[in-house]
DNA sequence: TGTTATACATACCAATCGGTATGTATGTCA
DNA sequence: TGACATACATACCGATTGGTATGTATAACA
């Protein structure tokens, strides 16, 4: 029933269970207010297992950023955008799809990356730098897509792709943040429309 | 040395000291991680005084939103904008002034309203609704300014002032959030430039 | 001048926190 | 088959948390 000696068998199933439960608890309560006891209570894993895989609570939080959030952003925002030729059309499609896939509960809890950024940036440098690494990938991925779009004649040459990429990430996070506090999918869509209008203004 | 019986003498100086200290601690640590003991340690006020003025920690947090943050947003973003005829020119000026006035430490701690929104919205309805009240005032103030701008011929008639107002608040909060995690005033300015470009695109 | 309410101050408390010490079951390998 | 490392499980610990009970000094008022 148990796996012992030499991990990596079923991709460390127990570790993944802990990581996922931590991700969910942190998503709702934030990192500092997330209780290890409550995380474990949501699984059938004990504290011994937790501290076998993670030396501290902080290390568990870091792993959530490195192994879950980085992947999420990459798969949802960066990779699909880099596969399109016209970044405006591509990003609008990604935004629409994201809007459809988000449940009301997702909206109520907001973007987990932004949550951790706003909570932990002033409190812990390890968190901040790891979150920044993910944001950096998001921004530079977007920047690359828009530079390619400029080269292929889809996007105005006079815009600064770096600034625009930052603005895009900022406005998306801002929209999600406002919709989260308003608890309103309608506001998310309304704000999303304005973001898409902005994107259209970047066309040649 | 002490004021007793019938408050309201020096505008409840002690209460204000507690409130201000709470605001500062919450700004850095967040509400849930803010410790009452540490808040009091930053003043020369005791726990007895705190619980004389505030029945619970939650009530103290609510007072920070109602009495400090609401006023901040109103004074910094709503009132100046409503005094201008051309909202685009007006808002650009407000953004530039805000950017100049912000210290590096302000950037590192981010917008206190956004901080509380992202942290507390899923956790406590009392917080969420109070923060929402402030956001609502910010959004509708901006909306009114842009509707007036449309009437006076400064702003395109075809834009939806409600959506635009939401987008403006979202992108401003998004910019501050990104700059906070990046710990970069340069990024704040860079992102602010793109917001101002967006505002320019709303002109007739 | 005595009474009372206000405005604090001090000491303490149960609950919860992250973390540790110890024990045990199981698979690997010599 | 025995030795050993891995993979947990259980019980416990000091520190910190928000909150309370109690005491006291002062001002207003009758």
A114-165 pLDDT tens trace? 999 999 999 999 999 999 999 999 999 999 999 999 999 999 999 999 999 9
Task: Inform me whether the pLDDT recorded for B25 exceeds 90.
Answer: yes
Q: What is the pLDDT of residue A94?
A: 98
**What residue ranges do the domains of chain B occupy?**
65-200
Whole-number Cα distances in Å, A126 to A32, A113, A129, B174, B186: 14, 14, 5, 22, 22
The CATH architecture of the domain made up of A66-200 is Orthogonal Bundle (1.10)
The gap between B41 CA and D17 C1' (Å) is 15
Confidence of residue A4 (pLDDT cuts 50, 70, 90): very low
Instruction: Suggest the residue from B124, B125, B174, B185 to mutate for an interface test with chain A (most A CBs closer than 10 A).
Output: B174
> What is d(CA A91, CA B69) in angstroms, rounded to the nearest whole number?
35
Task: Inform me whether the pLDDT recorded for B45 exceeds 90.
Answer: yes
Instruction: Suggest the residue from B61, B120, B158, B178 to mutate for an interface test with chain A (most A CBs closer than 10 A).
Output: B178
Residue of chain A with shortest Cα separation from B110: A118
φ and ψ at residue A80, rounded to 5 degrees: -60, -35
Q: What is the pLDDT of residue B8?
A: 53
Cα B159–B164–B170 angle (5° rounding)?
Answer: 160
- The CATH number corresponding to B65-200 among 1.25.40.80, 3.20.20.330, 3.40.50.2020, 1.10.357.10 equals 1.10.357.10
Question: Closest to B32 (Cβ–Cβ): which among A30, A169, A181?
Answer: A30
Residues B138-152: what's their mean pLDDT? 98
Joined tokens for residue A105:
């509960």
Q: What is the pLDDT of residue A12?
A: 79
Confidence of residue B12 (pLDDT cuts 50, 70, 90): confident
> pLDDT averaged over chain A?
95
B153 DSSP 8-state letter: T
> What is d(CA B193, CA B202) in angstroms, rounded to the nearest whole number?
15
> What is d(CA A89, CA A20) in angstroms, rounded to the nearest whole number?
33
**Contact status, residue A181 vs residue B121, Cβ threshold 8 Å:** yes
């Amino acid at each position: 029933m148990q796996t012992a000696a030499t991990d990596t068998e079923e991709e460390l199933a127990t570790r993944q269970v802990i990581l996922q439960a931590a991700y969910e608890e942190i998503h709702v309560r934030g990192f500092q207010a997330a209780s290890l006891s409550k995380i474990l209570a949501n699984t059938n894993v004990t504290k011994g297992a937790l501290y076998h895989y993670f030396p501290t609570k902080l290390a568990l939080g870091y792993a959530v950023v490195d192994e879950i959030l980085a992947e999420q952003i990459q798969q949802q925002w960066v990779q699909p955008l880099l596969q399109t030729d016209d970044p405006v059309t591509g990003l609008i499609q990604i935004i629409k799809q994201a809007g459809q896939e988000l449940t009301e509960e997702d909206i109520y809890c907001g973007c987990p990356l932004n949550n951790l950024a706003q909570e932990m940036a002033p409190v812990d440098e390890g968190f901040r730098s790891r979150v920044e690494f993910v944001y950096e990938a998001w921004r530079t991925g977007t920047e690359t897509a828009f530079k390619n779009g400029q080269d292929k004649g889809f996007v105005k040459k006079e815009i600064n792709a770096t600034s625009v990429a930052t603005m895009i990430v900022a406005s998306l996070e801002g929209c999600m943040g406002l919709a989260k506090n308003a608890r309103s999918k309608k506001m998310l869509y309304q704000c999303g429309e304005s973001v898409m209008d902005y994107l259209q203004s970047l066309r040649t």
